[in-house]
Chains A and B, each alone.
Chain A
Amino acid sequence: MTQETLNDRHKKLAAVRPRLLSFARMHLRDHAAAEDAVQEAMIAAIEKNDSFSGRSGYETWVFGILKYKLLDQMRQQKRHGRWEPFDEEHSDDAIDRMFQQDGHWAADAKPQAWSTPEQAFENENFWKVFDACMLSLPENVARVFSLRELMGLSTDDICKEVGIKENNAWVILHRARLKLRACIEKGWKEDAA
């Protein structure tokens, strides 16, 4: 590889770093730990630079390295017993309040149509709101959601990583999605007001 393309790669790495950082922060919920994970991922990307095949995009490749580091870090945390146990049977007041007794939406919780949902990802405010809503989720719920929707693991793999049953994973994901949806809708309304 020529020096020139190497420099290009490093510039690309610097350019993608803010996004790596926000991804890691969302998953770890800790800024310092996220900085560390991203730094480790960048070191690994530089070390393994030659093994980048070019089949996927460079950024996708770097994200893959970061995801691997984040999973590794999570396994270590789990081994050291730093996790709260999952509270399987507990009903959830916040979810109960979204629905009436008979299972219809409560009047003030009905999902509204979001204007231009597909362009939301291009909208800086969406990410601000999403970030805040992720932080408002209970830690266990956020972890399962993040493994599924940010890291892209199957529920089967999540069950192995986290040590829960699949049915439980579905309950947790259902609650996470309902809460995030409601939180994002609220955040956007306040933003527009």
Chain B
Amino acid sequence: MMMCKAATRLMSKQLDAPLTARERISLRFHLMLCSACRNCEKQFGMLHRVGNAYNGTIDKPQDGSAEASSGVNADNVASDQDLLKVKEAMAEAEARRQN
């Protein structure tokens, strides 16, 4: 039977490429019996969605619950520093346009 270390290899691989039928079956079988590996698979899946969490959430329509959000969304308020940097970028874009 496949052991945990090999199972984690397949859990990781399936996020990057399709598994063979044999790999898929041995992984499913192992996961049925091993709760630690089930936790691991969930957490790999979460790491896989980290990129979307970065540039996806901000475009979601803002409903009434938007104020309750924190984390990445908490940064969604521009500071003076950010506004200043945008002004600098605008000046630079204008300067490049004229050159």
> Which chain A residues (29-84) contact chain B, with CB distance < 8 Å?
38-39, 42-43, 45-47, 56-60, 63
Number of interface residues of B (CB under 8 A): 53
Over the window 82-121 of chain A, the binary record of Cβ atoms lying under 8 Å from chain B Cβ atoms (1 yes, 0 no) is: 0000000000000000110011110000111110011011
- Contact between chains at B90 and A46 (CB < 8 Å): yes
> Which chain B residues (2-18) contact chain A, with CB distance < 8 Å?
3-6, 8-9, 12-13, 15-17
**Residue from A22, A122, A152, A181 in contact with B47 in the complex, judged by beta carbons closer than 8 Å:** A181
Q: Please, which residues of chain A bring their CB within 8 A of the CB of B49? A: 121
Are A46 and B85 CB-contacts (below 8 A) given A19-B54, A122-B70, A177-B12? no
A14 to B59, alpha carbons, bound, how many Å? Answer: 15
- Contact between chains at A169 and B16 (CB < 8 Å): yes
- Tell me if A's interface is mostly helix, strand, loop or mixed: helix
A163 to B56, alpha carbons, bound, how many Å? Answer: 30
Shortest CB distance B17–A (Å): 7
- Contact between chains at A14 and B16 (CB < 8 Å): no
A130 to B46, alpha carbons, bound, how many Å? Answer: 12
- Contact between chains at A174 and B13 (CB < 8 Å): yes
User: Is A135 interfacial (CB 8 A cutoff)?
Assistant: no
- Contact between chains at B71 and A126 (CB < 8 Å): yes
- Contact between chains at A181 and B3 (CB < 8 Å): no
A149 to B52, alpha carbons, bound, how many Å? Answer: 9
User: Is B77 interfacial (CB 8 A cutoff)?
Assistant: yes
Q: Please, which residues of chain B bring their CB within 8 A of the CB of A114? A: 39, 42-43
Q: Please, which residues of chain B bring their CB within 8 A of the CB of A58? A: 59
17 inter-chain pairs at a CB distance below 8 angstroms, sorted by A residue, are A10-B90, A11-B78, A14-B83, A18-B75, A43-B93, A47-B97, A56-B59, A104-B3, A112-B39, A114-B39, A124-B71, A124-B74, A149-B50, A150-B50, A152-B51, A174-B12, A181-B43
Residues of A within 8 A of B (CB): 10-11, 13-19, 22-23, 38-39, 42-43, 45-47, 56-60, 63, 98-99, 102-105, 110-114, 117-118, 120-124, 126-127, 130, 148-152, 154-155, 166, 169-170, 173-174, 177-178, 180-181, 184-185
